[in-house]
Chains A and B, each alone.
Chain A
Amino acid sequence: MKLGYYPGCSLESTAKEYDMSVREVFKALGVELVELEDWNCCGATAAHSVDYLLSLALPARNLAIAGKQNLNIIVPCPECYQREWSASEALAANSELLEKVNELLGNGLQYEGNVEVKHPLDTIINDIGIEKLSQNIVKPLKLKAVPYYGCVIVKPPRKKKFDSPENPVSMDKILAAIGVEVLPYDLKTKCCGGPVMLASEDIMLKLSYELLKKAKAAGAQCVATACPLCHLALDAKQINIEKAYNEKIDMPVLYLTQLVGLAFGIAPKKLGLDKNIVPVEKLLKSL
């Protein structure tokens, strides 16, 4: 299998360990990831907050590039994933809008409406399959974790939805397959406040505090996530959360692909496990 790879801005910086672990895990699974040539920022939540047409044209440029390379794309960052698929669906449904967007892209780069957008959870569950995943496991992980999806991997439900928007289970299944004891966690799709982190920090601190507290109460040894912004809020900002609520939390937050990589026997360093902010050493030793 060969897929166009859209890393997006976070995976080049604050979420480097996500990028590293995604590449490692998919290599092990025999999927070739071809980074899109000269990709651009999808605009995230900001573009639509400034201009609607811009919020379609930015993801459309990436889709057009993928189309030119004859590739469907895989997008690990949920925010980018949601921007890319919603642009592809909006443009598929409205030829007038597609024409307008193509006019913005200019001659030489046109989007033909032929690109599929996938999230790694979808690809692993539906295209690769748990069976194939299981064949790569050399070291089942004996640990307890809560699966945290965050908002936009599954919301709003798209036409080709791959999981439930209210009670998704794809991450649960992958974690269970690699040996993890998946604990019940009713906040799995509740917002962490990441998008308002800079402008309204207290909202983010409160929402993320509740998520971490519940994970701890459930008896989790770590939170599994698949979103750079959730990871930034729960991991890098955990120290600020502890300060604000005067409470030691000490909860490692790992990308799902880091956990899968560990179960595949890939070296922690190759999975960027030295880049997580909340220390993971104790957790790694216990495995």
Chain B
Amino acid sequence: MEEPIRLTECDPNFIQEVAEAGGKNVQLCFQCGTCSGGCPTAYAMDYTPRQIIGMVNLGMRNEVLKSGTIWVCSSCYTCMTRCPRGVEITKVMAALKSIAIKSGIETKNKKAAAFYKTFVEVAGAYGRLFEPMLFLKFALKAEDSLTGSVARLLKDAPFGLELTKKGKLAFMPSKVKNMQQIKKIYEKAMGGSK
């Protein structure tokens, strides 16, 4: 963070927005750094978990939503288990992803955002996750060009083939029977909170 923090550009409602998206107790953080110390993916983050929580507290909405950190988080819950102040750090990370996706902000990790969106799309279409469709749609969404998508699919092909040989990838999706109900749940949940 070389740039000075301009409080006038900060969003005082950000803590509330994050809490409503399912990440509570941010304001209880006393910046001890326990979360960062045990985070298995901190080495690949641009801001550590402690920094992210501090930035949410300051209302640095833009910087936080644009960070690579939130997409690198593997939802392992180590930080949240250890936090001495009960900050729901892992849930804050998920909440931030959802806010970033909804506000359509340009993220540093397009692939991860594409992954979560695709997962929900595929699970919503069948009621259950049909993995071959996830791989296919993700490859199309994660890359900027068709060549990129094809290259990704080819790279993952041996892996998919190995699973298929072992009878572990289905050709047909396992589907929920009451799809009408599933569609309604997805529509109402996502429509209602936009």
Note whether A and B form a binding pair.
yes
The interface of chain A, by Cβ under 8 A from chain B, is 9-10, 12-16, 38-41, 43-55, 57-58, 61, 103-106, 109, 151-152, 155-157, 165-166, 189-191, 193-196, 198-200, 203, 207, 236-237, 239-240, 274-275, 277
Closest to B178 in A: A38
User: Is A14 touching B169 in the complex (CB atoms < 8 A)?
Assistant: yes
- A14-B168, A240-B159 given; A203·B22 CB < 8 A: no
Closest to A45 in B: B75
Compute how far the CA of A113 lies from the CA of B128 in the bound complex, rounded to whole angstroms: 23
Give the contacting residue for B120; candidates A43, A165, A166; CB below 8 A. Answer: A43
Interface CB pairs A-B, < 8 A, 16:
A9-B128, A9-B129, A13-B131, A40-B176, A48-B95, A50-B120, A52-B193, A53-B193, A54-B120, A104-B184, A105-B181, A106-B181, A189-B78, A199-B109, A207-B40, A207-B74
Residues of B within 8 A of A41 (CB): 123, 127-129
Cβ of B102 to closest chain A Cβ, rounded Å? 8
User: Is A193 touching B40 in the complex (CB atoms < 8 A)?
Assistant: yes
Residues of B within 8 A of A49 (CB): 94, 97-98, 101, 116
User: Is B112 touching A196 in the complex (CB atoms < 8 A)?
Assistant: yes
Q: Is B85 an interface residue (CB 8 A)?
A: no
Closest to B180 in A: A106
Residues of B within 8 A of A198 (CB): 111, 115, 135, 138
A41-B127, A109-B181, A199-B114 known, 17 other contacts, Cβ within 8 Å:
A48-B97, A49-B116, A51-B120, A51-B189, A55-B22, A61-B181, A61-B185, A104-B185, A151-B74, A155-B78, A155-B80, A156-B80, A193-B40, A198-B138, A200-B109, A236-B163, A275-B167
- A166-B81, A191-B40 given; A50·B101 CB < 8 A: yes
Q: Is B71 an interface residue (CB 8 A)?
A: yes
User: Is B77 touching A48 in the complex (CB atoms < 8 A)?
Assistant: no
DSSP majority for the B interface? helix
Q: Indicate the size class of the contact surface on chain B.
A: 35 or more
Indicate the member of A16, A44, A103, A156 with the most B CB atoms within 10 Å: A156
Residues of B within 8 A of A200 (CB): 44, 71-72, 109, 111-112
B153-187 vs A, CB cutoff 8 Å, 1 = contact: the mask equals: 00000010011001111100010111001101110
User: Is B71 touching A199 in the complex (CB atoms < 8 A)?
Assistant: yes
Residues of B within 8 A of A39 (CB): 176
Residues of A within 8 A of B58 (CB): none
User: Is B74 touching A196 in the complex (CB atoms < 8 A)?
Assistant: yes
User: Is A47 touching B120 in the complex (CB atoms < 8 A)?
Assistant: yes
Compute how far the CA of A13 lies from the CA of B80 in the bound complex, rounded to whole angstroms: 31
User: Is B81 touching A155 in the complex (CB atoms < 8 A)?
Assistant: yes
User: Is B184 touching A106 in the complex (CB atoms < 8 A)?
Assistant: yes
Indicate the member of B76, B90, B159 with the most A CB atoms within 10 Å: B76
Closest to A12 in B: B174
Cβ of A8 to closest chain B Cβ, rounded Å? 9
Q: Is B104 an interface residue (CB 8 A)?
A: no
Q: Is B4 an interface residue (CB 8 A)?
A: no
Closest to A232 in B: B163
Compute how far the CA of A167 lies from the CA of B46 in the bound complex, rounded to whole angstroms: 30
Compute how far the CA of A104 lies from the CA of B190 in the bound complex, rounded to whole angstroms: 11
Give the contacting residue for A48; candidates B76, B98, B109, B167; CB below 8 A. Answer: B98
- A41-B128, A200-B109 given; A193·B41 CB < 8 A: yes
User: Is B162 touching A16 in the complex (CB atoms < 8 A)?
Assistant: no
Compute how far the CA of A68 lies from the CA of B142 in the bound complex, rounded to whole angstroms: 40
Cβ of A207 to closest chain B Cβ, rounded Å? 6
Closest to B71 in A: A199
User: Is A203 touching B72 in the complex (CB atoms < 8 A)?
Assistant: yes
Compute how far the CA of A240 lies from the CA of B41 in the bound complex, rounded to whole angstroms: 19
Closest to A43 in B: B123
Residues of A within 8 A of B117 (CB): 50
Compute how far the CA of A14 lies from the CA of B120 in the bound complex, rounded to whole angstroms: 18
Considering only residues 117-142 of chain B, those with a C-beta below 8 Å from chain A are 117, 119-120, 123, 127-129, 131, 135, 138, 142
